[in-house]
Structures are given as C-alpha cells and as structure tokens.
C-alpha cells in the first residue's frame, strides 16, 4: 500500500513537473516570438505581446514615441506598432482625395484581420512551445507531445481569458505619452491657436513680397531689385521643417524680388519622409537654381525626391559655378540612427564634418565664393575658407565677421516647422530669411551685404537689418 502511495506521489510530481516545464516553454515562446505583421491600408502594422510590468495596451508611433493605456494589470503588454508606410499608396490617396469612410472601413477590417491572425499565431506558438517542453529530459512520445501541446494551448487561452477579464476600456480616457509625442500633447491649445494665426498670416503674404520689392526698388534705385544689371540677388533659407506657409512665402519672395539664386542650408523636412514633401509642393514654383545641403532632419529618400520632382540640386563636397559664383556645400548626417532620434549632434560628429570639409576644400584648385553647411559649429570652423559662409540649424538668424568671412545664419524660414505650433508663449518662433547681394565686376562678383529679414505673422509686416560685408550692422527698417 505504501509503495503504491509513494508511486502515485512520484507520478503526480512528475506530471506536475511535466506540466510546469511545458507551460514555461509555451509562455516563453509566446512572449519571445509573439508578433505578427500585416499590411493595413497604407501602413505596415505589427501586433506583438511582451512581458512588461505593469501590463497594458501600447501604441508605438515610430519615431515619435509611445501611447500607453493601462488596460490590465497582468504583466503582458499588447503592442500595436506602425512599422512602415507605403509612400506610393499614400501619395496616390493624397492626390486623388481622401475618402475618409472608405479608409476607416479598410483600417477597421484590416486591424480585425491582423488581430485574428495574431491570436492564431500565439496559439500555434503555445502548442509548439508546450510540445518542445514535453521533450525536455524525456524520450519522444506522441502522447507526451500532444499533452505538452494541449498544455501550451491552454496556457495561451488562459492568458487571453485573464486579460479579457481585467481589460478596462476606460483606460483609453487616461492615456500616457512618452517620447516626442508627449511634448505635442502638452501644447495642443497652442497648436490650435498658432494654426489659426498661421492661416491668417498666409492670407497676408500676398502683399509682403510686393512691399519688399518696393522697398528694394526705392533703396537701391531699381538695379538690385530687378535681379539683373550689375547686381546678383541670392535668397538664403534654412530649416523650413515642412511648413507649408513658409513654402508659399518663399515663392512669394521669389516672384516679388526676381531672385537669381536660392541657397538652402538644410532641414527642409521634419522626419525625412518623402511624403512630407507633398505638404510643401508649392516650392515647385521656383524657377531659379535652387541649391541644397542636407540637415540632420533630411533623409536620403526625401533628398532623392527633391532632386527628381523639385529640381533641387544637393551639394555634398562638390563645387558648382552659377551666376559667376563658385559654390560648394557639405551635408550633415541624419538625426535618425537605428530607428532612434538623436536630439543633438556629438562633438565627434562635428569634428568629423569639419575634417571632411577642410580636406575637400584643400583638394580644390580654387577657393569657393560661398560655402553652405547646416551646423553653425561647422561654419565657424571653416571661417577664412570663403568670403561668404551660410548655415542654419539653430532657428535664430545672425550674421558675424570672422577671419575675413561673412558667416550668415538664416534662422528658420519655417518658424521652426512643427515647433512653430508647439512653441512657448514666452518665445515665439520667427519666420526669417537672409537676402545676400553681390555686385558684378569684370573679375569675380563682390559680396556687398546680407539682409536679415523677419516677418511678423500678426501684422504681415517685415523688419530688415543690413550687414555690410566688412562693416557693422545697419538697421534699415
């Protein structure tokens, strides 16, 4: 009798160990491999489950951050992430017009299909993990494999039952934000107010370019304002950051001032997606040569589209000659590395950019008339290498003389782009550009002055400060 009881105890212990091992393997398979991707509309979406305490439902919006709803306490996070966007399909939707109901219907059924396939995969993983656990330290037997698979499937089922019982939809009314998206939600009232002001400012832009043209006509007796004769007029813009109002402003300035060249020192987009360029497609109206160097927000795909669809030439170490001026430029490395956003550039990266630019300049037979870079730190390091050096990045316009160079930072033509809509009340973002004037001579064109122009979004008026090539600034208006 005792032997039988002892035998039963051992058998029960073995069964418990068997079940525990199968259960552990099943959960490990589910939590480590539990993800499924599917195309939903224009998005490539992934649903996954991971161990995370406390649990909840997470929405990963790369590269902006994460939205969290604490829907359940079980340490199993349900994660829905957008992995990619079909740019061609999105472009087609924008051009044809949005059918909102159709898109929402596709998203609804697509998301339902993604969830169904995700659940099926989790059950299969549970079965596979349970069966594998059943083989650990034992002879392979069909009955034990089946038993392990059943335990794995039961574990997945129990996991979903617990989540379903605990699941609290009210948590979606108390969302948590992390990453860049947290900053956006903090300033939603400011976003709405600034957007309304931006629309009003856009309406006033039609007369700003005319006012500027009249100003230059009177100031320079018509010669410089005409874009011909003895003068060369160059518009320096930077950090447009995908602002459609700013794109229209540049076109208005172009038509009003009859420019000779447009030089752009980077950050034309915000996250580097070609889709963003649809928002600023009004830049296609520019007729003059438009040269560009990449900023930390510009990625290769968007740069390719700038060249193909906008006719913008990107410089990165090469030199071109236009309007009698030798112009070279050096691009910056993008802010995205390994799917993450770098908030600032490292000293090492700046040093590498400086070294690359200096090496390229030394290899040239002739010095350039203008150097274009994105970072002001690089511009400072290149002082003395050209009469005029253009830069941006810091969103605050400035001009200084250093080692015989006029270093012009055009500020942000896009009023800091998205940050224009989430600015603080104390420090308003500004629409700023620089206008650089050369006088033609029998030899090389001679730089005369740089005008920093700031636009007042409230009144539609402008202010201007002139910086002669070798003198102190003079405020003209």
C-alpha dihedral sign at 251, 256, 262, 268: negative
Q: How far apart are CA 460 and CA 252, in angstroms?
A: 13
Residues 106, 210: one domain? Answer: no
Q: What is the pLDDT of residue 424?
A: 43
Residues 180, 191: one domain? Answer: no
Q: Domain boundary residue among 165, 185, 205?
A: 185
Q: What is the pLDDT of residue 472?
A: 45
| Sequence-separated (6 or more) residues with CB below 8 Å from residue 412 | 238, 239, 240, 241, 392, 395, 396, 429, 430, 431, 432
Q: What is the pLDDT of residue 171?
A: 85
How far CA 74 is from CA of 22, 171, 190, in Å, comes to 20, 14, 37
249's tokens: 């402003």
In this predicted structure, the answer to whether residue 260 has a pLDDT above a threshold of 80 is yes
Nearest one of 387, 393, 396, 391 to 449, comparing CA atoms: 387
Q: What is the pLDDT of residue 173?
A: 75
Q: What is the pLDDT of residues 265-284, one digit of tens each?
A: 999 988 777 767 877 888 88
Residues 74, 202: one domain? Answer: no
In this predicted structure, the answer to whether residue 384 has a pLDDT above a threshold of 90 is yes
Q: How far apart are CA 413 and CA 404, in angstroms?
A: 26
Please tell me the least confidently modeled range out of 4-8, 184-188, 324-328, 373-377. 184-188
Q: What is the pLDDT of residues 23-67, one digit of tens each?
A: 899 999 999 999 999 888 778 889 999 998 888 999 887 666 788
Q: What is the pLDDT of residue 278?
A: 75
Q: What is the pLDDT of residue 407?
A: 96
Q: Domain boundary residue among 161, 185, 209?
A: 185
What is the rounded average pLDDT for all residues in the chain? 80
CATH number at residue 242: 3.60.21.10
Predicted TM-score (pTM) of the model is: 0.61
The H helix count followed by the E strand count for the chain is: 11, 22
Chain centroid to CA 330? 20
Q: What is the pLDDT of residues 153-173, one digit of tens each?
A: 999 999 999 999 999 988 877
Counting the structural domains of the chain, the total is 2
425: confidence class by pLDDT, cuts 50, 70, 90: very low
Residues 240, 181: one domain? Answer: no
CB 268 within 8 A of CB 298: yes
Residues 6, 140: one domain? Answer: yes
Domain carrying residue 270: 187-475
Residues 8, 144: one domain? Answer: yes
Residues 261, 369: one domain? Answer: yes
């Amino acid at each position: 009798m005792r032997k039988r009881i002892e035998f039963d105890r051992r058998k029960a212990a073995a069964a418990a160990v068997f079940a525990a091992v199968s259960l552990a393997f099943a959960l490990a398979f589910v939590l480590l491999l539990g993800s499924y991707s599917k195309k939903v509309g224009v998005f490539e979406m992934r649903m996954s489950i991971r161990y995370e305490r406390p649990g909840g439902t997470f929405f990963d919006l790369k590269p902006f951050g994460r939205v969290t709803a604490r829907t359940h306490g079980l340490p199993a996070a349900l994660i829905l992430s957008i992995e990619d966007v079909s740019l061609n399909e999105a472009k087609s939707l924008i051009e044809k017009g949005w059918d909102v109901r159709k898109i929402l219907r596709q998203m609804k059924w697509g998301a339902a299909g993604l969830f169904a396939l995700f659940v099926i995969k989790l059950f299969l993983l549970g079965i596979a993990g349970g069966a594998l656990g059943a083989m650990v330290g034992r002879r392979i037997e069909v009955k034990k494999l089946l038993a392990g698979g059943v335990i794995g499937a039961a574990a997945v089922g129990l996991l979903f039952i617990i989540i379903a019982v605990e699941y609290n939809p009210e948590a979606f009314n108390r969302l948590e934000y992390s990453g860049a998206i947290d900053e956006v939600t903090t300033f939603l009232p400011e976003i709405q107010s600034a957007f309304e002001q931006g629309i009003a400012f856009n309406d006033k832009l039609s007369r700003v370019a005319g006012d500027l043209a009249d100003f230059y006509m009177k100031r320079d007796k018509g010669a410089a304002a005409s874009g011909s004769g003895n003068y060369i007029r160059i518009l320096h813009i930077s950090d447009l950051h995908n602002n459609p109002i700013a794109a229209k402003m540049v076109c208005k300035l172009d038509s009003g001032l009859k420019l000779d060249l447009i030089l752009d020192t980077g950050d034309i987009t915000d996250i580097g997606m070609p889709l963003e360029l649809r928002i600023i497609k009004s830049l296609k109206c520019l007729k003059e040569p438009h040269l560009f160097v990449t900023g930390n927000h510009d990625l290769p795909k968007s740069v390719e589209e700038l060249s193909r669809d906008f006719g913008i030439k990107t410089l990165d170490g090469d030199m071109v000659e236009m309007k009698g001026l030798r112009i070279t430029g050096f691009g910056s490395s993008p802010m995205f590395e390994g799917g993450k956003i770098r908030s600032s550039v490292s000293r090492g990266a700046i040093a590498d950019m400086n070294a690359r630019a200096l090496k390229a300049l030394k290899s040239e037979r002739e010095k350039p008339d203008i150097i274009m870079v994105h970072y002001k730190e690089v511009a400072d390091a290149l002082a003395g290498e050209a009469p005029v050096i253009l830069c941006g990045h810091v969103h605050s316009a400035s001009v200084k003389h250093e080692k015989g160079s006029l270093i012009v930072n055009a500020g942000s033509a896009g009023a800091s782009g998205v940050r224009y809509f989430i600015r603080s009340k104390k420090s308003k973002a500004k629409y700023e550009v620089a206008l650089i004037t050369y006088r033609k001579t029998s030899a090389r064109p001679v730089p005369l002055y740089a005008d920093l122009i700031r636009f007042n979004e409230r009144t539609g008026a402008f202010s201007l400060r002139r910086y002669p090539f070798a003198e102190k600034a003079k405020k003209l208006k």
